[in-house]
Amino acid sequence: MALDPSDSVDRGLSGRADMRGALNRLRQATGLPLAFAGLIEPGPGQLRISELQGSRTTALQGLAVRSGNGLGGKTVALARPCWVTDYSVSRQISHEYDAAVAAEGIRSVLAVPVVVRRQVRGVLYGALRAAQPLGDRTVGAALEAARDMEQALVVRDEARSLLAATRATVEHEGAPGVWEEVREAHGALRALAPRIDDPELRAELLQVCGRLAGVAGGKSVGPGSPDGVALTPRETDVLTCIATGATNAVAADRLGLRPETVKAYLRSVMRKLGAHTRLEAVVAARRAGLLP
């Protein structure tokens, strides 16, 4: 079975799109002129700043921050928000990064940890170029933006785990129950994709779903099946749930739809596939390479 569930998906799991979204929300909610963020790198475990909004220089771009050092490093070490009113003279932090901070003209700074399963995965910063106190409203908005990013990283972790499981499954073609595992992975990826805000990553996951379906059916699947049947994304989502044995009510709950809407999608699917029952629809979709 020739299938590599897309190395480009792995590249899309870096979280940079989620950082951009979180920084946008932070600036919109607070009016802060400068916001930046970074994720903890594997290996040495240092934080590297990779996303900036409102910057005037490149002084902070790519800056590596060690745990315990500076404001961000303190935030990583303590796993809680930290802030200073005037960075350059603050006695609450160490000053390894003063040159980069001064080059950007930063004075008042807030740093909020992004924590997933009790592990700090990154830091969001908001900053002013004046020595002014950052109030509770600003801190609250930063915490909300960090929570949004935390949830996005949880979804990406799920996607990475599912893709790894899919690779392991397809490498054991011919093993007992392999296609049931492929079908489970397909269903889980289809259910996960709508929860991902990053359109590129979502498209990549759906592409993997299409390849899983095509490989299982021995067909190369494009926008429609070789038999001329084309299902909409939502119709495919519904049929994928039904194929796992889900009732209309369960499918509706998984997909965030009303049971009546699920019924309507299912009727449309059955009409397109020329099926009279749910089982016939699933069988026909698998023969057409629309489901694994």
Domains and CATH numbers, the chain: 9-152 (3.30.450.40), 172-287 (1.10.10.10)
pLDDT exceeds 50 at position 8: no
More confident residue, 76 or 255: 76
Which pLDDT does position 37 carry in this prediction?
A: 96
Mean pLDDT in residue range 55-70: 96
Give the residue, 289 or 178, on which the prediction is more confident.
Answer: 289
Average pLDDT over residues 223-241: 77
Mean pLDDT of 137-153: 90
More confident residue, 49 or 290: 49
Dihedral, 199, 203, 206, 212 alpha carbons, nearest 10: -150
3-state secondary structure of 85: coil
pLDDT of residue 124: 96
Q: Share the mean pLDDT of the chain.
A: 83
Which residue, 290, 277, 160, 276, is CA-closest to 233? 290
Q: Please give the Cα distance from 49 to 63 (Å, whole number).
A: 5
Residue 279 clears pLDDT 50, i.e. is over it: yes
Which residues is 82 bridged to in the sheet? 111
Q: Can you give the pLDDT at residue 178?
A: 61
Question: Residue 22 above 70 pLDDT?
Answer: yes
- The pLDDT, as a whole number, for residue 142 is 94
Q: What is the dihedral of CA 60, 61, 66, 68, to 10 degrees?
A: 30
